[in-house]
């Protein structure tokens, strides 16, 4: 029997860490992975969510995030107006829920 750890979901009450704007087609996860590893050092691990091509989970060391690209227009219309967003499409990077026991390790890693 194989035990599989579930991917943590983002908190619905907390805002995203980052918004990602782009025009045209969404950047491929391979492109983002190569860019991240070149800029910040690797490895970046990406796991797709079952049944959703635009939603995935990224991890680097103890850091993890839930990424949705593109966000549905019904969710971002007001945000685009507030931010005077110039890009046609928007994605979001949200922190995954972390247990209180693991929070100090995550904060320490982010501070480095």
pLDDT digits (tens, 9 = 90+) for 36-58: 888 888 788 888 887 777 888 88
What's the whole-model pTM score?
0.64
- Alpha carbon distance 86, 62 (integer Å): 33
Domain membership of residue 13 (yes or no) is: no
Q: Is residue 58 part of a domain?
A: yes
Query: Distance between CA 95 and CA 88 in Å, rounded?
Result: 24
Q: Is the peptide bond before 70 cis (omega within 30 degrees of 0)?
A: yes
Check whether 5 has a pLDDT greater than 80: no
Structural domain contains residue 45: yes
Domain count, the chain: 1
Closest CA to 50 of 91, 12, 7, 16: 7
Let me know if residue 10 belongs to a domain.
no
Cis ω before 107 (30° cut-off from 0): no
Q: 3-state class of 10 per DSSP?
A: strand
Q: pLDDT by residue (tens digit) across 66-95?
A: 888 888 888 778 878 888 888 888 888 887
Residue range(s) defining the domain that contains residue 63: 18-111
In a domain, 26, yes or no: yes
pLDDT averaged over every residue in the chain: 74
């Amino acid at each position: 029997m194989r035990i599989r750890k579930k991917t943590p979901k983002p908190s619905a009450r907390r805002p995203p860490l980052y918004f990602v704007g782009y025009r045209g087609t969404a950047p491929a996860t391979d492109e983002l992975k190569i860019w991240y590893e070149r800029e910040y050092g690797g490895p970046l691990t990406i796991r797709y969510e079952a049944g959703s091509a635009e939603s995935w989970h990224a991890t680097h060391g103890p850091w993890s995030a839930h990424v949705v690209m593109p966000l549905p227009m019904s969710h971002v219309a007001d945000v685009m107006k507030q931010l005077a967003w110039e890009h046609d499409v928007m994605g979001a990077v949200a922190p995954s829920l972390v247990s209180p026991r693991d929070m100090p390790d995550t904060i320490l890693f982010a501070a480095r």
